[in-house]
Structure 1
Amino acid sequence: MDGMTVPAAQRRLAVIEVTRFRPHAPEYHAYVDTLNARVQGLAEATGWEATRFAAADLGEASLLELTDDASAIALMGGEDLAPEWYGGSSGYRREGRHYEEADAGQLAVLQRALDRGTPVLGVCRGHQLINVALGGTLVQHLDGDTVHLNAGAPIDELMQGHAVALDDESRIATILGGSVGVRSAHHQAIDLLGSGLRVVGRASDGVVEAVEHATAPVTGVQWHPEDRKAPAGQLLRLLDGLADQVRLAA
């Protein structure tokens, strides 16, 4: 794999987050901002032209316009998707604020990427959004003690470390290996699988941790490779994998 063979002029990465403004949750916002900045920073350091876009702040039309020339998309983590997108109901445990404008914009960008064959990496919320965009549903709350969230901890200690077994025949296993250590902080997960997707990674409790589209260069991971305690090189290898997909699509 040699992601650096893609000319820099053709490596435009759109890092799409929920919002750049959370005055109601400053500690959470600061933490999410750090994660998204790591993706942009590492991408730039390895030859990408990387730009962050806040879906809720821009609105669907502006988001589509501003990301029109992106050669790859990273859909980042954040708040739960609004349940109406997957036929769910409000009132579930640990339900927080929703950003329907962000949902709509990110779903529109993803649909365009699917139509064009643009490579996509979905992280946590982005992984779930890929599934919902293709008609899948979500488990709204993982009950009990899980390996997926350090519940009750301070914001910067919510990430939980655990193992994920990857399908040896998957693209992501080619990049990361058959079994990986990951860092995650989520209380929702994929339930009914979206059309065209296949499960290529699971945690020990059976929770879906990675998906790939059967024909499009679209991958979702439920964990956070951009966390500061993630295994060394994990995010870099995923970004290089995106670059390889850009090269193949050119």
Structure 2
Amino acid sequence: MSKLIGISSDVYLGATSIINQRLMNFIPHSTIDGVIFAGGIPVGLPNVPKESVNGLLERLDGIIVPGGPDVDPNFMGEEPIPELGITNRSRDIFEIALVRTAVAKHIPILGICRGAQIIDVALGGSLYQDLKAQYPGKVLKHNQEAPGNQPTHFVSVIHNSALFKSIGDNVFVNSRHHQAIKSVPSDLRIVAKASDGVIEAIESDDASVQAVQWHPENMWEDDSKQLALFKDFIDRT
């Protein structure tokens, strides 16, 4: 039986030209297709009050937290620096509650880009608000100008990890972020880094929580390793 995979929605902050409505919830089609091709059934999760999260999760087998805007530094106990980009506090509140509730219910989670960051913060970690401004060392170009489905830098993967079993080591990935994971909570571990030391993936010991900093949803059609991320995640649900 196919697994039901909830995908948290991004929020369009402007008014749409079709229905002239603000705060429209949406999910990128590439993520939907990735779940379908991996054998799952995608279910869109609108941003709702955190009190409603428990009900959303009742019938789901797994959760994907995809990319989106910057994470509000207030959730790390920090003030915003000038380089901070657009944030959406309402989405942060929803997804933090979603992650914490899913972990409590032992529902597997896959995080993508911002998803990795919000999972890290939700479970007690912290982020660099901006790599160029805060990272202690020279960094690669992590916000590529190349087309989104094209890889631009390599990541090294720890061999005793579920991620390594899915995609191997020295993986060529795309990159569209300026925030990044700084510290990792005790329940998670670092399983991949870029050559500059920037954290590129985290997971729990049983891989029920796994998250990557790149965008496999944009690459899976051309790279079987990236589709394997979706397939192996669904297998864990």
Q: Considering the TM-score relative to the shorter chain, is it more than 0.5? A: yes
Matched, 1:51 2:40: no
Deviations 1:140-177 (A, max 9, x none): 11117633113xx49x6697611000001100000001
Q: 1:50 to 1:133 in 2, by over 3 A?
A: same
Alignment of 1:182-221 (within 5 A): 182-215=173-206, 217-221=208-212
| Cross-structure match for 1:98 | 87
Contact 2:38/2:234 (8 A) holds in 1: no
User: Does structure 1 conserve the Cα–Cα contact (< 8 Å) formed by 2:220 and 2:227?
Assistant: no
Correspondence for 2:123: 134
Q: Residue in 1 aligned with 2:135?
A: none
Q: Which runs of 5+ in 2 are unaligned?
A: 18-25, 133-137
Task: State the shift of 1:44 in Å.
Answer: 2.1
The equivalences for 1:95-174 within 5 A come to 95-143=84-132, 146-150=140-144, 153=145, 161-174=152-165
Q: Which residue of 1 aligns with 2:30?
A: 38
2-side partners of 1:54 and 1:127: how far apart? 19
The CA deviation at 1:229 is: 8.1
Deviation at 1:105, TM superposition (A): 1.0
The 2-side partners of 1:92 and 1:228 are apart by 32
Q: Which amino acid aligns with 2:191?
A: V
| One-letter code aligned to 1:59 | P
Q: Determine helix, strand or coil for the equivalent of 1:200.
A: strand
CA RMSD of aligned residues (A): 2.6
Secondary structure of the equivalent of 2:64? strand
Aligned residue type for 2:216: P
SS at match of 1:238: helix
SS of 2:217 mapped into structure 1: coil
**Corresponding residue pairs, total:** 225
Q: 1:18-61 deviations in whole A, cap 9, x for unaligned?
A: 31x232799xxxxxx68x21111232244312112232xx3323
Paired residues of 2:57 and 2:102 also in contact (CA < 8 A): no
Distance 2:202 2:89 in 1: 24
| Contact 2:150-2:173 at 8 Å conserved across structures | no
Q: Sort the Cα spacing of 1:231 and 1:46 in 2 relative to 1 into closer, same or farther, 3 A.
A: closer
* 1:83 counterpart (61, 70, 73): 73
> How far did residue 91 of structure 1 move?
2.8
**What is the TM-score with the length of structure 1 in the denominator?**
0.81
Deviations 1:189-237 (A, max 9, x none): 1112112111110000000001111246100100101125885123321
Q: Distance in 1 between matches of 2:113 and 2:140?
A: 16
Tell me the CA shift for residue 109 of structure 1: 1.2
* Larger helix percent: 1
Percent sequence identity is 29
